[in-house]
Amino acid sequence: MHIRLNNVSVRFPIYDAKQRSFKQTVLNVATGGRILESSRGPAQVEALKDISLDIKEGDRVALLGHNGSGKTTLLRVLAGVYAPVQGTISVRGKVTSLLDSMLGMDGDATGFENIKLRALFLGIKPNEINRLVDDIVEFSELGDFLNLPVRAYSSGMVLRLAFAISTSVRPEILLMDEWISVGDERFRQKAAERLESFVNDAGILVMATHDMELANKICDKVVRLEHGRIVEAPESIVPRQMDAVS
Amino acid sequence: MFLVNLSEAIVDITAAFRDRYFWTALGWQDIRTRYRRSALGPLWITISTAVTVAAMGPLYGALFARSPGEFIPHLALGLIFWAFMSGSINEFCDAFSGSTHYLKQVKLPLTIFVLRVIYRQFIILGHNILIYPVVMVLLGKSVNLNIFWAIPGLLLVSVNLLWIGLVVAIFCTRYRDMHPVVGSVMSLMFFITPIVWQVDQLPPGRAHLADLNPLTILLELMRQPILGGVPAPMYWAVAAIAAVAGSVFAVALLARFRHRVAYWL
């Protein structure tokens, strides 16, 4: 199980950005990746530049950086959603991505239907879902509400369900965008314990966060991103090319 | 590099067929969602088509001076199978962009989302076709053994829809103007495909023009067997060649642009 990135760059074409002067203005703002000038073709935002990472089994990596520094884009690259424009990526292991804990929730479908729907996207086959349903029912404590459409739930109840489903699998490589927080004082303790064991079971964890304290508590390695580049990282996971940082 | 992409495109398609449970579940869920809060549910599909046939059948039958027993089965099957093809092609436009939140989070074979549309339209076809036995009883029509030709016909149409779907979905994701274009083209095609009218109404010198429309051929592969005929060998040949050539094109397109689709969403 590993994740290896070699000089990965990601650029987004912005097809509707027409105003060149506007591009000039935002060229040097504090947030976001770099906006590239090109004489022909659409404007491009350079979301990630020359990212090299070598993450091994057992690593707990926190991605830090302000809004638009490329954390989510990097997670999406790791999830296989964005193929790098340059560089190579090799991911070995089954990836579970919790970039959006609400993935696949359908307001008009019942709780049970949503469990099945979401499970598909977590990579669980229909014949394996039944094993998980009991666990999800018990943990979410939603009881008969699971027979009602999700739109009848309070927002806290939807979160509970989403949380219970997302954490019901045993992940190999777990990608998280922000720590999932589940309201309700009484439920929070239970959720925190479950999330910790869930995260501990993962072979590799990569988590994006703003919270330095949380990063130090959960993770053992911190990678700091700025303008789509790695500006700070332990030697063990960024083996070389640290000189690329200016 | 192209070879790597090519093998990944083929894996995309084979993986989608292996994970049938994925798109069948999504397709059913789409139908359930669409009709969830209606009392009759998906029967609305059947009813609305039945009303169209009941309204248009006698009217156009009289306009064209055709006997109801001949014209209404032609019209009913034409409308039903046309709904299957045009419904699929129109909805291919949203196949990827309508699933943005999935595609931006998990890596999935893109073909799944095309098959989901075809499967969804197939379920609708299943509801619509229920009208035909009623039409048969009312008009005292029957079917003969040729009806079994409808199975390879439907299969061949589906293969063609799959490659059309991949092409349309990729184009519509990149060029958002394509969606209304596809819509307009399909409504134009409704009039130039023999759904309401019949080929033998054309002057003899021009009847072959109808065959230049590939959708005519696909439609007849499904309709003629149920009306008791066997589609001409030329129709089978054209549809089979289109399926092979189109699939080659779609795989090449998928190989070239599969990686870019997520960026365009």
Alpha carbon of B127: minimum distance to chain A alpha carbons (Å): 22
Q: Is the pLDDT of residue A19 over 50?
A: no
Chain B residue with minimum CA distance to A177: B105
- Section A88-110 average pLDDT: 81
Q: Is the pLDDT of residue A34 over 70?
A: no
Does B103 sit within 8 Å of A109, measured CB to CB? Answer: no
Instruction: State which residues form the domain around B180.
Output: 2-264
Facing residue for A81 by CB, picked from B21, B32, B262: B262
Q: Which residues of A touch B259 (CB under 8 A)?
A: 83
**What is the pTM (predicted TM-score) of this model?**
0.88
Together in a domain, A164 and A216: no
Name the stretches of chain B with pLDDT < 50: none
Q: Which residues of B touch A108 (CB under 8 A)?
A: 33, 36-37
Top pLDDT among A16 and A172 is at: A172
- For residue B262, what are its two tokens? 């997520």
Alpha carbon of A186: minimum distance to chain B alpha carbons (Å): 30
Does A99 sit within 8 Å of B32, measured CB to CB? Answer: no
Together in a domain, A14 and A70: yes
Give tens-digit pLDDT for A54-64: 998 888 899 99
Inter-chain Cβ pairs, chain A and chain B, closer than 8 A: 61
Instruction: State which residues form the domain around A89.
Output: 2-94+207-244
Q: Give a yes or no: residue A86 inside a domain.
A: yes
Number of domains present in the structure of chain A: 2
Q: Which residues of B touch A103 (CB under 8 A)?
A: 101-102, 105-106
Best residue of B263, B264, B265 to probe chain A, by most A CBs closer than 10 Å? B263
Of A149, A170, A191, which residue sits at a domain end? A170
Looking up residue A46, the CATH number of its domain turns out to be: 3.40.50.300
Of A125, A149, A170, which residue sits at a domain end? A170
Alpha carbon of B10: minimum distance to chain A alpha carbons (Å): 17
- Section A74-101 average pLDDT: 87
Give, in order, the Cα–Cα distances in Å from B87 to each of A163, B111, B116, B123, B221.
36, 18, 13, 12, 18
Q: Which residues of B touch A41 (CB under 8 A)?
A: none
Q: Give a yes or no: residue A195 inside a domain.
A: no
Give tens-digit pLDDT for B15-38: 999 989 899 989 998 888 888 778
Burial B129-160, CB ≥16 within 10 A → b, else e: bebbeebbeebebebeeeeebbeebbebbbbb
Facing residue for B104 by CB, picked from A13, A81, A106: A81
pLDDT for the residue A244:
46
Q: Which residues of A touch B107 (CB under 8 A)?
A: 79-81, 95
d(CA A73, CA A11): 10
pLDDT for the residue A20:
43
- Section A105-113 average pLDDT: 83
Alpha carbon of B43: minimum distance to chain A alpha carbons (Å): 19
- Chain B touched by A41 (CB under 8 Å): no
Facing residue for B33 by CB, picked from A76, A108, A126: A108
Together in a domain, A88 and A113: no
pLDDT for the residue A96:
85
Q: Which residues of B touch A (CB under 8 A)?
A: 21-22, 25-26, 29, 32-33, 36-37, 101-108, 259, 262-264
- Chain B touched by A164 (CB under 8 Å): no
- Chain B touched by A126 (CB under 8 Å): yes
Together in a domain, A35 and A112: no
Together in a domain, A7 and A87: yes
**Choice among A32-36, A220-224, A241-245 with the minimum mean pLDDT:** A241-245
Together in a domain, A83 and A139: no
- Chain B touched by A120 (CB under 8 Å): yes
Q: Give a yes or no: residue A185 inside a domain.
A: no
Q: Which residues of A touch B113 (CB under 8 A)?
A: none
Does A100 sit within 8 Å of B105, measured CB to CB? Answer: yes
- For residue B125, what are its two tokens? 């076809």
User: Is the complex ipTM higher than 0.85?
Assistant: no
- Chain B touched by A148 (CB under 8 Å): no
Of A145, A170, A195, which residue sits at a domain end? A170
pLDDT for the residue B265:
84
Give tens-digit pLDDT for B177-189: 888 999 999 999 9
**Choice among A63-72, A182-191, B231-240 with the minimum mean pLDDT:** A182-191
Which residues does A208 contact at the CB level (< 8 Å), separation at least 6?
A: A62, A63, A71, A72, A74, A75, A176, A177, A178
Number of domains present in the structure of chain B: 1
> Which residues 79-108 on chain A approach chain B with CB closer than 8 angstroms?
79-83, 95, 97, 99-100, 103-104, 106, 108
Q: Which residues of B touch A100 (CB under 8 A)?
A: 101, 105
Q: Which residues of A touch B108 (CB under 8 A)?
A: 121
- Chain B touched by A118 (CB under 8 Å): no
φ/ψ bin of B167: left (φ > 0), alpha (ψ from -120 to 50), beta (otherwise): alpha
Together in a domain, A118 and A89: no
Top pLDDT among A109 and A30 is at: A109
Is the Cβ–Cβ distance between B100 and B261 less than 8 Å? no
Share of chain A above pLDDT 90, in %: 3
Q: Give a yes or no: residue A180 inside a domain.
A: no
Together in a domain, A74 and A108: no
Together in a domain, A164 and A219: no
Q: Give a yes or no: residue A190 inside a domain.
A: no
Q: Give a yes or no: residue A118 inside a domain.
A: yes
Q: Is the pLDDT of residue A39 over 70?
A: no
Together in a domain, A82 and A140: no
- For residue A235, what are its two tokens? 């030697």
pLDDT for the residue A27:
55
Chain A residue with minimum CA distance to B25: A117
pLDDT for the residue A246:
38
DSSP calls for chain B:
-HHHHHHHHHHHHHHHHHTHHHHHHHHHHHHHHHTTTSSSTTHHHHHHHHHHHHHHHHHHHHHTT--HHHHHHHHHHHHHHHHHHHHHHHHHTTTTGGGHHHHTTS---THHHHHHHHHHHHHHHHHHTTHHHHHHHHHT----GGGGGHHHHHHHHHHHHHHHHHHHHHHHHH-TTHHHHHHHHHHHHHHHSTTSS-GGGS-GGGHHHHTTSHHHHHHHHHHHHHHT----HHHHHHHHHHHHHHHHHHHHHHHHHHHHHHHH-
Does B37 sit within 8 Å of A103, measured CB to CB? Answer: no
Give tens-digit pLDDT for A110-161: 888 888 888 888 878 777 888 888 888 888 888 888 888 888 888 788 888 8
Top pLDDT among A34 and B177 is at: B177
Alpha carbon of B13: minimum distance to chain A alpha carbons (Å): 17
Does A117 sit within 8 Å of B29, measured CB to CB? Answer: yes
Q: Give the pLDDT band (50/70/90) at residue A107.
A: confident
Chain B residue with minimum CA distance to A125: B21
pLDDT for the residue A241:
52
SS (H, E, C) chain A: CEEEEEEEEEEEEECCCCCHHHHHHHCCCCCCCEEECCCCCCEEEEEEEEEEEEEECCCEEEEECCCCCCHHHHHHHHHCCCCCCEEEEEEECCEEEECCCCCCCCCCCEHHHHHHHHHHHCCCCHHHHHHHHHHHHHHHCCHHHHHCEHHHCCHHHHHHHHHHHHCCCCCCEEEEECCCCCCCHHHHHHHHHHHHHHHHHCCEEEEECCCHHHHHHHCCEEEEEECCEEEECCCCCCCCCHHHCC
